């Protein structure tokens, strides 16, 4: 009588479909996945520990390097938590630019997602198209911050500088042409029989299970849970914008795909509304205890220079207490929990990364399917290892 036994297969840490250094130990029965054991931590840099030894301003560049595909969303989550702790009011122009940049970031992150997700499943054309548009977002990043990825553009109390004059036109042109590009991707995928075969019914997770395992963001909305922090607990002035929150019905990879595509269209609308309501004004709060002085003061007056030196070297002392602030990052809820003991550095900074919690669902979503479907599940979870390992 023939006997069968399972086989153990190592996938990663260097594997094209794991989107970074993720190692999965698979237990297989033929080609069917019986058990998935993720091994993470290859990119662990100890950001939370480092943050305990840096002033609040010095932590900001570290946050860029968490989810490096959506640096501005990380910046936003962090500075909103610090601003909550310090009770700083941000000028309207700064808030509007933050929302514009955060939504461009959402577009960028989702573009990388659709590119890699489609590439993993074998649709190479989409990859080339999506990276073409991503390049425009990178150029807009470079225009405002000087860097393409590690932007470090926001500041506690506002922005590091105002956006250049040509930004509004360039961003506007891009946003107006984006729906046409999205139609191109949809033309390649939405009714493509291979795409449908690979995604419909793949990685199904019910709404109840999704909440139990802690999924957030598009992964949760794909399971039909109508919840978006931008709408339900608005921050940074999102309550003034009109946008729809898409949800899925069938809880599968295809629905999560559709949810993210609609999110991209909605992000374009939010950016358009932001650009239309952009009025001249200050981009940094008038709060000298906390914020950096404007650059012209630093260059032209001794008081400004001393002020800058004090903020850059000593930072500011935060009141004793603890705050948590969660934002709707492209991948889910990104939260920063700051415990302050009254000093100029946090006693504890905890980052709640969406990818870390979302990745936990991988086993539940892929057991019983083929290895090739597991690859689609990794793509649909949209993970970034920089954020998982921190």
Question: Footprint of another protein on this chain (CB under 8 A)?
Answer: 40-41, 44, 46, 48-50, 52-53, 84-85, 87, 211-214, 216, 225, 227, 232-233, 313-314, 321-324, 326, 333, 335, 337, 339, 341, 347-348, 350, 352, 356-357, 360, 389-390
Burial class (CB in 10 A: 0-12, 13-18, 19+), 296: exposed
DSSP state of 291: S
Of the candidates 273, 345, 282, the residue with the CA atom closest to the CA atom of residue 313: 345
Q: Which is nearer to another protein, 245 or 278 (CB)?
A: 245
Residues paired with 364 in a beta bridge:
none
| Strand ranges across the sheet with 7-11 | 7-11, 23-29, 32-39
- Using CA atoms, how far apart are residues 1 and 66, in angstroms rounded to an integer? 53
Q: Which is nearer to another protein, 277 or 310 (CB)?
A: 310
- Using CA atoms, how far apart are residues 137 and 174, in angstroms rounded to an integer? 8
Min. distance of Cβ 233 from another protein in angstroms? 6
Q: Which is nearer to another protein, 69 or 229 (CB)?
A: 229
Min. distance of Cβ 78 from another protein in angstroms? 15
Of the candidates 293, 296, 196, 317, the residue with the CA atom closest to the CA atom of residue 250: 196
Q: Which is nearer to another protein, 168 or 211 (CB)?
A: 211
Q: Which is nearer to another protein, 190 or 344 (CB)?
A: 344
Of the candidates 149, 143, 155, the residue with the CA atom closest to the CA atom of residue 65: 149
Min. distance of Cβ 147 from another protein in angstroms? 23
Residue 193's Cβ-side half-sphere holds a number of Cα atoms within 13 Å equal to 0
Q: Which is nearer to another protein, 168 or 367 (CB)?
A: 367
């Amino acid at each position: 009588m023939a006997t069968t036994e399972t086989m153990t297969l190592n996938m990663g840490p260097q594997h094209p479909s794991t989107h970074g250094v993720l190692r999965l130990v698979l237990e297989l029965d033929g080609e069917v996945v019986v058990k998935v054991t993720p091994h993470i931590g290859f990119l662990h840099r100890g950001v939370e520990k480092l943050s305990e030894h840096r002033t609040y301003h010095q932590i900001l560049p570290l946050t860029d390097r968490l989810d490096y595909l959506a640096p501005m969303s990380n910046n936003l989550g962090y500075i909103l938590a610090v601003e909550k702790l310090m009770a700083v009011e941000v000028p309207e122009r700064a808030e509007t630019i933050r929302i514009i940049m955060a939504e461009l970031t959402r577009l960028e992150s989702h573009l990388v997602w659709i590119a890699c997700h489609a590439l993993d499943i074998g649709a190479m054309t989409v990859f080339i198209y999506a990276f073409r548009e991503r390049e425009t977002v990178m150029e807009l990043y470079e225009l405002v911050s000087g860097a393409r990825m590690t932007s470090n553009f926001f500041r506690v109390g506002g922005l590091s500088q105002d956006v250049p004059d040509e930004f509004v036109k360039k961003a506007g042109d891009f946003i107006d042409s984006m729906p046409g590009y999205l139609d191109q991707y949809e033309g390649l995928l939405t009714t493509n029989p291979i795409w449908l075969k690979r995604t419909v019914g793949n990685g199904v997770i019910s709404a109840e299970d999704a909440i139990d395992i802690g999924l957030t963001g598009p992964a949760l909305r794909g399971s039909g849970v109508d919840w978006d922090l931008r709408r339900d607990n608005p921050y940074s002035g999102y309550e003034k914008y009109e946008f729809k929150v898409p949800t899925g019905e069938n809880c599968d990879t295809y629905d999560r795909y559709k949810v993210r595509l609609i999110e991209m269209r909605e992000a374009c609308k939010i950016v358009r509304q932001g650009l239309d309501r952009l009025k001249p004004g200050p981009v940094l709060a008038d709060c000298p205890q906390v914020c950096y002085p404007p650059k012209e003061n630093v260059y032209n007056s001794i008081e400004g220079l001393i002020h800058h030196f004090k903020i850059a070297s000593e930072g500011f002392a935060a009141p004793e207490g603890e705050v948590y602030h969660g934002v709707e990052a492209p991948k889910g809820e990104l939260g920063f929990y700051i415990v302050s003991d009254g000093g100029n550095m946090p006693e504890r900074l905890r980052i709640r990364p969406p990818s870390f919690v979302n990745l936990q669902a991988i086993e539940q979503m892929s057991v019983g399917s083929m290895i090739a479907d597991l690859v689609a599940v990794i793509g649909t979870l949209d993970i970034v290892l920089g954020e998982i390992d921190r």
